[in-house]
Structures are given as structure tokens and as C-alpha cells.
Chain A
Amino acid sequence: MLSLIARRLLAAIPSVLGIVVVTFVLTRALPGDPAAYYAGPAATAEAVEQIRVKLGLDQPLWRQFLDYAGDLARGDLGLSVSTGQPVSEELLRRLPASLEITLLGLLLAGAIALPLGILAATRPNSWIDHACRLVTTLGVSLPIFFTGLLLAYVFYYLLGWAPPPVGRLDSLYSPPPHWTGFYLIDSLIARDGRVFLSAAGQMVLPVITLALFVLAPIARMTRASMLGVLSSDFVRTARASGLTPATVLYRYAFRNAMLPVLTTLGMVFSFLLGSNVVIEKVFAWPGVGSYAVDALIQSDYAPVQGFVLVMALLFVAINLLIDVLYTVIDPRVSIES
């Protein structure tokens, strides 16, 4: 198992290096001149040129890249020009906010989609099967920013059930002392029930939005995978041996059906990370996604590069986790790899 993890980590190095190069080139290729942007509309040509030199943007591209790569190797992601803060610090501060809603969204989606898919597969053409089909169709046809805005409009503006979409906490409260950066966990550590409730309340709408977005692929894959496994020979054997329906369903069918579902979970986690960019804007969430969008608009290279790099590392970590889970569930995998 350890050697598998080591092998996968080694195999990830080229893709991470590739991402470093591609993000560097892409941010440079974007329209907009950061020097002109920061000098302001009234600046003279000399002032703009001074800023350009200060930012190092007068250097040839390969020089800039070597500087960037050298900083990276020392763990330095550079400074954000717009905020003046080190990018790595800000990403670290904001990452828990993004991960908190992403993980909860994935958890909620799984908690609904897995039973839904299983029930739909075990009762084909029942009302639950039709419900499953409806949910999956809606899920893929509604864009995430639309769902987010719709939920905020209905549950905050019209009904007043949800708190205003102003970020992680109601302005009455101050954040709990920092332990993990996850407000739900930190407020529990601080034994502050009111902050916990406020943080949870703020999270409800973004988490539901994210969950709705990925419900569809998980439920559809669970249903399809369960249908396939339930008609397989070994489930017939299990039934022919008189095993109870519960044993057949969970110990025989479900564990086998989980394999493709696991792959889907890894995939939708990437979707979720990507959609954070939009969702955090809709709900004024101070996560890495909104940070990256703001930086992008201001041609602030370092935060964008840092953001993409962090996302890439998260992808690598998630894929590694999926692979490890695969080997735990499926004995055939470790032999084949």
C-alpha cells in the first residue's frame, strides 16, 4: 500500500510540473497589462514603466519563469500585487472556507444520491425510479450559478428562511479561534454554540447548491452500477444460496457497485472545486475561488497561478485517495497495477 502511494505520488510529479508551466504561460497570455492597471488611468508612461520594472515584467518571459520556478521551489508563491499579502498565506487562510462547503456539498450529495440510486435500481419503474430520473435530469440541466441565485432569491429574499448571503458568518459574530479553519469544527472546539449555528446557517444554501449540482452524476452512476451488479451471476449465486435480501444487497451488490461510483465521486469533487469559483461569488464566500476571480480581473498573476497550483495538488490528492480506496475495496487492483 505504501509503495502504491509513493508510486502514485511520483507519477503525479510530471503533471504538476506541466500545470506550473501551463498556468504561467496562460496568465501571461491573458489580455491586460498589470503594470498599466496598477499605475492607474492617470499615470504617465514613465510611471507605468517604473511599475513594470518593479514587478519584474520587463524581463524576458523565460527569466520571469525561472524566477517564478525558483520561488516555487522554496515554497514561495509570490505576493499578490492588489492586496500586498503573500499568496501562500492568503490561500491557506481561504482554503478551509472553500473546502468546508465543498466537502459538505459532496457529503450531502452522496447521502441523498447513493440511497436514491440504490432504491431506483432495486425498484425499476417505481415512483422512486422516476424521482431519481427527474432529479438527475434537473441536476444536469440547471447551471450552478442559476441554482445558487434561485435558492438565495427564494429562501433569503422571498421567504426569509435563510440568512443573508454575506459570507461565512453573520456580522454579529467574530470567527472562532483558528484551529483547522473549518468554522464548524473550530466553533465546536471553542464550545461556542451560537457561532456554530450561525456558521452552519450561512452554509446551508451554498452547500445545497453544490450538492444539487453533483447529485445527478452520483445518483445516475449508482443506479446504473447497481442495476449491472444486481443482474450479475454472483448476485444470482448469492440469491440461490438463500442469503437474506439485505446481505445480497449490501455485502454482495453494493460493495461491487461502489467501484465505478467511487470514480464518479472523485470526478464530481473536481467539478465542485471548479464550481466554487462561481458559488463563492454568489454567496460572497471568502474562499480561494473568489480570491482567484478577483485576482484574475485585476491581472494579478501570482494569486491566479497559486490558485491553479493548489487546485492541481488537490486533484492529485483526491485521485490518490480514490486509488487507495479502490485497492482497499477491490483485491484485483493491486495485482493489475
Chain B
Amino acid sequence: MSAPLIADADHPVPLLDVQSLGVEFQTRSGTVRAIQDVSLSVRRGETVGVVGESGSGKSVLFYSVLGILDAAGRVTGGRAVFGGLDLTAASPSELAELRGREAAMIFQNPRAALNPIRKVGRQIEDVLARHTSTPSAQLRARAIEALAAVRIPDPERRYHAYPFELSGGLCQRVMIALSLACSPSLLIADEPTTGLDVTTQAAVMDLIRELATRRRMATVLITHDLGLAADYCDRIVVMHAGHVVETAPTAQLFAKPRHPYTARLVATTPHGAQSLSALAAIPGNLPDLRRADLPNCRFSERCDRKEAACVSEPLTTTEFEAGHRVACRRPL
């Protein structure tokens, strides 16, 4: 509804501006400091990749932005301003108004992400009825339009399908139709291709890119697949253990990674010319985020460039060139 009139990557005010956001989970075995001091921005019309291992907090970050954290999680600090509204201060009903209408999200494993016992067309209607003033007589036509917009063949028939009757790829198309039904200005795609076969992955990603371009919609692509992010994103944000470690335009990130973690990630990402033996694993695991003695740099325990200050001194972020920021004391 409020799609911007022009796609403007140089627009001075970002569409989504996250500043020093922190998120914690209270669990039986202690407090998990899942997100700490995370800042990132998404401008209108651009595609930003958020990359990191499982457990790096990339999904939790956007769940907290949209207000769909589960009950154990809470935002401990910072702001997330979306279209002028601070989401961390917004009421649950304000956030619910905004979700699906201004900012939508799609998930991995699309078949499980759809209600198994409700016709997919009806699920799209539910979203339309919630956020638009479409008269109920026209809801069905609008839902079929939404299915047609994601190029689902024979949308009139598929309207009546249940998720178990559709392939994974079709289910993800339905998810995209559902999330874009109200023309949001921001789409958060959380591992949208995980669980799909390789050819379907490409088709789904191409569809997302095409729709985003046509609707001048900003897209956040959450993925652990740096190769996928390289293909589809303008900028990449690298996360590790709840911290943003590096942010850079895609080409620059691959050409000259500054953070040791990013450098290792790039080295582990297969490219056509590389042989398997050239791929390097990253030593160690993510630190346990419940620990009281977490080092200031959460990568320091896996890092071969670590020095004493990495553990004891606060993490600092340095901006190298325009838009290339690194949270490291001894960048490459």
C-alpha cells in the first residue's frame, strides 16, 4: 500500500534502521544473550543479505524487529526504526497492523509454514481481509490474483489446494503470494530456499528478485549460503554469535574481506574454479551464549589473529570505505 514511488538506493533515510539492538532469552539453564549491539540498515529497493552460521542470531534479529519473538525472548536495548516508527517501542497491536502489510516474512520449509488444514487460497484471504478493505465478495478474486502474480499455474484450481497437495516449490510460491498480497515495502526472506531442490531454489530466488524489482520492494535475504547471497544481494551483513562482524557491498566483501571470520567464510564458499581441497573449515564452534565470561569479541576464541585486547576491551567498529564496516581490532 505504501510502496515507495521510486526505488532510490541513495535515499537519505533508510527504510529499516536497526541501532544497537540487543535480544535475550530467559531459559531454564540461564540467559542467552542472542543478539548484542547489532546495527544495520536496509534502504528502499535494495537487497541485503544477512549471512552467518546457524545460531548466529540472524533469524532472531528479524523476529525481534517484527515483534514475533517467542515469549522467552525480549529486546534489551536499542531501536529498530521502520518507516519512521520505532518498532521496539510500538505496541503489539501496532506491530501486528504492520506485519503482513508493510513488512512481510517468508520462511524455510514452506510446506510446514502453511496451515495444513486450510485451503491455501483461504490463507491468502485471511491476510487480505486483515490488512485491506477488500470487500469479502472480492477476496477470492484478489487471492487468485496473488497466486497468479507468483506465476502459479492454474491459480483458480490451486486456490482450493491444501499445502500437502502442492510441491515444496509451489508451497514456497504460495508463501510468497501470501506475504506479498498486501504489497509490503519490506520482505524478509528467512532461508527461503532451504528444503527445496536446487532447480526450484533458483526459480524461487529469481521470482523473489523479479517481484522485488517490479514492486520496488526492499528485501532482506537471511541465509547461511554465502554463494546465494553473492548472487542476489547488493550488500551483505555478516553475523557471528549475535554480533554483526562485517558489512560491505557484495563485490567488496568478496574481493577484500576484512574480518577474519568473513575471510574464512569466503574461503569455505565453493566457487566454480576452486577444487574441493581448497575449501577450508572454520575451526571451533559458536561460543555458548549463556556463558557469563563471554569475550568481548565473540569470535576471538576461534580466531588466529586474536590478542589480549580482543577479549578484554570493548568491541569497536571501524569504517574502511563508504559502507564497509568491520567489528575487529586486527582486521585483515
Chain A contact residues, CB within 8 Å of chain B = 124, 231-234, 236-245, 247, 251-252, 255-256, 329-332, 335
Question: What residues of chain A lie closer than 8 Å to B104, measured between beta carbons?
Answer: 240-241
Q: Which one of B99, B118, B164 contacts A242 once the chains associate, using CB atoms below 8 Å?
A: B99
In Å, the complex CA distance between A243 and B128 comes to 10
In the complex, the answer to whether B97 meets A240 with C-beta atoms within 8 Å is: no
**Stretch binding the partner chain, chosen from B17-25, B107-115, B259-267:** B107-115
Given A242-B101, A243-B100, A256-B116: A233 touches B109 (CB 8 Å cut-off):
yes
B175 at the interface (CB under 8 A from A): yes
Would you list 22 pairs from A and B whose C-beta atoms are within 8 A, ordered by A residue? Answer: A124-B71, A232-B112, A233-B113, A234-B115, A234-B116, A236-B107, A237-B107, A237-B115, A239-B68, A240-B66, A241-B99, A241-B100, A242-B95, A242-B127, A243-B127, A245-B96, A247-B126, A247-B130, A252-B118, A255-B117, A255-B118, A329-B117
In Å, the complex CA distance between A240 and B179 comes to 9
In the complex, the answer to whether B130 meets A242 with C-beta atoms within 8 Å is: yes
In Å, the complex CA distance between A243 and B164 comes to 22
Chain B contact residues, CB within 8 Å of chain A = 66, 68, 70-71, 95-101, 104-105, 107, 109, 112-118, 126-127, 130-131, 162, 164, 175, 178-179
Question: What residues of chain A lie closer than 8 Å to B175, measured between beta carbons?
Answer: 237
Given A252-B115, A255-B117: A244 touches B130 (CB 8 Å cut-off):
yes
In the complex, the answer to whether B162 meets A331 with C-beta atoms within 8 Å is: yes
In Å, the complex CA distance between A234 and B174 comes to 13
What is the distance, in angstroms, from A236's C-beta to the closest C-beta of chain B?
7
In Å, the complex CA distance between A240 and B116 comes to 17
Q: Which one of B70, B100, B114 contacts A240 once the chains associate, using CB atoms below 8 Å?
A: B100
Given A242-B99, A255-B117: A236 touches B68 (CB 8 Å cut-off):
yes
Given A234-B113, A236-B68, A240-B105: A332 touches B100 (CB 8 Å cut-off):
no
In Å, the complex CA distance between A247 and B118 comes to 13
What is the distance, in angstroms, from A78's C-beta to the closest C-beta of chain B?
47
In the complex, the answer to whether B126 meets A241 with C-beta atoms within 8 Å is: yes
In Å, the complex CA distance between A245 and B105 comes to 17
Question: What residues of chain B lie closer than 8 Å to A331, measured between beta carbons?
Answer: 117, 162, 164
In Å, the complex CA distance between A239 and B104 comes to 10
In Å, the complex CA distance between A78 and B228 comes to 78
In the complex, the answer to whether B117 meets A256 with C-beta atoms within 8 Å is: yes
Question: What residues of chain B lie closer than 8 Å to A332, measured between beta carbons?
Answer: 116-117, 162, 164
What is the distance, in angstroms, from A313's C-beta to the closest C-beta of chain B?
31
Beyond known contacts A233-B107, A233-B112, A331-B162: 5 more, CB 8 A cutoff = A231-B70, A237-B115, A240-B68, A242-B100, A243-B96
What is the distance, in angstroms, from A323's C-beta to the closest C-beta of chain B?
16
Given A124-B71, A244-B96, A332-B162: A237 touches B114 (CB 8 Å cut-off):
yes
In the complex, the answer to whether B178 meets A241 with C-beta atoms within 8 Å is: yes
Q: Which residue of B lies closest to A239 (CB)?
A: B68
Q: Which residue of B lies closest to A234 (CB)?
A: B115
In the complex, the answer to whether A242 meets B105 with C-beta atoms within 8 Å is: no
In Å, the complex CA distance between A236 and B105 comes to 10
Q: Which residue of B lies closest to A125 (CB)?
A: B71
In the complex, the answer to whether B117 meets A330 with C-beta atoms within 8 Å is: yes
Question: What residues of chain B lie closer than 8 Å to A255, measured between beta carbons?
Answer: 117-118
Q: Which residue of B lies closest to A329 (CB)?
A: B117
What is the distance, in angstroms, from A3's C-beta to the closest C-beta of chain B?
20
In Å, the complex CA distance between A56 and B118 comes to 60
In the complex, the answer to whether B126 meets A243 with C-beta atoms within 8 Å is: yes
Interface centre among B101, B114, B115 (most CB of A within 10 A): B115
In the complex, the answer to whether A239 meets B107 with C-beta atoms within 8 Å is: no
In Å, the complex CA distance between A241 and B68 comes to 10
Given A329-B117, A331-B117, A331-B162: A234 touches B100 (CB 8 Å cut-off):
no
In Å, the complex CA distance between A243 and B115 comes to 13
Question: What residues of chain A lie closer than 8 Å to B127, measured between beta carbons?
Answer: 241-243
In Å, the complex CA distance between A234 and B113 comes to 4
What is the distance, in angstroms, from A25's C-beta to the closest C-beta of chain B?
44
Question: What residues of chain B lie closer than 8 Å to A241, measured between beta carbons?
Answer: 99-100, 104, 126-127, 130, 178-179
Question: What residues of chain B lie closer than 8 Å to A240, measured between beta carbons?
Answer: 66, 68, 99-100, 104-105, 107, 179
What is the distance, in angstroms, from B290's C-beta to the closest C-beta of chain A?
20
In the complex, the answer to whether A242 meets B70 with C-beta atoms within 8 Å is: no
In Å, the complex CA distance between A241 and B126 comes to 9
Closest 3 CB pairs of A and B: A242-B99, A242-B100, A241-B100
In the complex, the answer to whether A243 meets B113 with C-beta atoms within 8 Å is: no
In Å, the complex CA distance between A238 and B105 comes to 10
Interface centre among B117, B126, B162 (most CB of A within 10 A): B117
What is the distance, in angstroms, from B190's C-beta to the closest C-beta of chain A?
9
What is the distance, in angstroms, from A330's C-beta to the closest C-beta of chain B?
5
In Å, the complex CA distance between A177 and B326 comes to 88
In Å, the complex CA distance between A332 and B70 comes to 29
In Å, the complex CA distance between A142 and B84 comes to 59
Question: What residues of chain A lie closer than 8 Å to B71, measured between beta carbons?
Answer: 124
Q: Which residue of B lies closest to A243 (CB)?
A: B130
Q: Which residue of A lies closest to B67 (CB)?
A: A239
In Å, the complex CA distance between A240 and B182 comes to 13
Q: Which one of A124, A234, A329 contacts B114 once the chains associate, using CB atoms below 8 Å?
A: A234
In the complex, the answer to whether A242 meets B117 with C-beta atoms within 8 Å is: no
In Å, the complex CA distance between A330 and B117 comes to 6
Q: Which residue of A lies closest to B71 (CB)?
A: A124
Q: Which residue of B lies closest to A258 (CB)?
A: B117
Q: Which residue of A lies closest to B66 (CB)?
A: A240
Q: Which residue of B lies closest to A332 (CB)?
A: B164
In Å, the complex CA distance between A229 and B66 comes to 21
In Å, the complex CA distance between A237 and B246 comes to 30
Question: What residues of chain A lie closer than 8 Å to B68, measured between beta carbons?
Answer: 236, 239-240
Question: What residues of chain B lie closer than 8 Å to A245, measured between beta carbons?
Answer: 96
Question: What residues of chain A lie closer than 8 Å to B97, measured between beta carbons?
Answer: 242
